[in-house]
Amino acid sequence: MRRHDLGRTGIEVPALAMGAASLGSIYHPVSQDEADATVATALECDLNYFDVAPYYGLTTAETALGKALKGFARQSYTLATKIGRYGDQDWDFSADATKRSIEASLGRLGTDHIDVIQCHDIEYGDLAQLRNEALPTLRKLKEEGVVRFIGVTGYRLDVVEKIAVEEQVDTVMAYCTYTLQDRRLAPVAERLAAAGIGVLNASPLGMGLLTTRGAPSWHPGNERVFELVAAAARLCTLAGTDISELAMRFALTTGHEHGIATTVVGTANAHNVRENARWADSEPDATLLKQVEAILAPVMDAGWDVLPGNGGKAGG
């Protein structure tokens, strides 16, 4: 597995990282045995960066990840979690909530420190509170060694970039914006990387959109996007492949040239972990990619902020 510098943190991240939201059963029910097998397989494949949040499965993803990591040496993996989002419509960037959240995450994850702590989906929270309470609290915890690096995450790239640069955070996680269907993160990632900020591209499968199973019922995307992606998925099946394979190969082999340090995919399936790792280093089929891009052209870069969908969980 290729590894890249995560900005100026000194952490070398695998080109493919593991998103543990899935372990909170947000896409399909997941048992602890499945979570254990997924995490063990990820570590076997050198995918030793795990991203999670209290919000995922309302703390169940952190609990499952903590149990699955038990027994593996703490220094053998990098752990990233979040503060600030606690429900579909529940943000709190106060100092008290930040401290309480980190204490609870440490307990669920069975560790005494968090490598990367991120303020979650900042554009929907109170940005003044984020600047005046959450970030200063995290900086203090950084001095105390409880957290090693501080980041922000979100969907609105303009908000995320502005706060990241002004507050000089260490990392930025964006999601669903560097995929087969949406490339808007590319120029933003180039600027952030040039500023020394580590960029994580989450959801290369567009939160399940770019799979043969299709987007989950809570997905905030637009019907027109779903229709055209389904047509592209059928074309991939006819070509003897799977749209997920094309999507993963695309994100993984082209992301780094735009400053993306790692791509964070979510799965709760050990077989899919192996497939994703296998696809990490090989180019997508150029002819098929062109055909799929032609199908998706009418909705290229059309996220749910451009073509509103049903609101979904990830919306404001």
Ligand X SMILES: NC(=O)c1ccc[n+]([C@@H]2O[C@H](COP(=O)([O-])OP(=O)(O)OC[C@H]3O[C@@H](n4cnc5c(N)ncnc54)[C@H](OP(=O)(O)O)[C@@H]3O)[C@@H](O)[C@H]2O)c1
The catalytically annotated residue of 56, 86, 124, 175 is 56
Element (H, E) at 119: strand 114-119
Helices (H) and strands (E) in the chain, counts: 11, 12
Cα angle: 226, vertex 232, 238; to 5 degrees: 135
Cα angle: 134, vertex 91, 11; to 5 degrees: 50
Q: Where are the beta strands (DSSP E) in 155-276?
A: 171-175, 198-202, 260-266
The residue (of 85 and 148) whose beta carbon lies closer to ligand X is 85
The residue (of 61 and 97) whose beta carbon lies closer to ligand X is 61
Contact residue for ligand X among 276, 280, 296, 312 (CB under 6 A): 276
State the chain's maximal CA–CA distance in angstroms: 56
56 is catalytic: yes
Least CB distance to ligand X at residue 27 (A): 4
User: What x/- string results for residues 56 through 95 when contact with ligand X is judged by CB under 6 A?
Assistant: ----------------------------------------
Contact residue for ligand X among 48, 171, 211, 253 (CB under 6 A): 211
Closest CB to ligand X: residue number:
266
The residue (of 145 and 237) whose beta carbon lies closer to ligand X is 237
Q: Specify the stretch interacting with ligand X by CB under 6 A; choose among 109-117, 130-138, 206-214, 217-225.
A: 206-214
CA 251/CA 211 separation, integer angstroms: 14
Q: Specify the stretch interacting with ligand X by CB under 6 A; choose among 15-23, 104-112, 122-130, 218-226.
A: 15-23
Q: Specify the stretch interacting with ligand X by CB under 6 A; choose among 21-29, 88-96, 98-106, 136-144.
A: 21-29
Q: What are the CA-CA distances from residue 243 to residues 42, 183, 260, 289, 294 (Å)? A: 21, 17, 22, 10, 14
Least CB distance to ligand X at residue 26 (A): 7
Q: What are the CA-CA distances from residue 246 to residues 53, 114, 231 (Å)? A: 28, 33, 14
Query: Residue 205 carries which side chain, given as an amino acid letter?
Result: L
Active site residues: 56
Q: Which stretches of the chain bind ligand X, using CB under 6 A?
A: 19-22, 27, 51, 120-121, 153, 173, 175, 202-208, 211, 244, 264-269, 272, 275-276
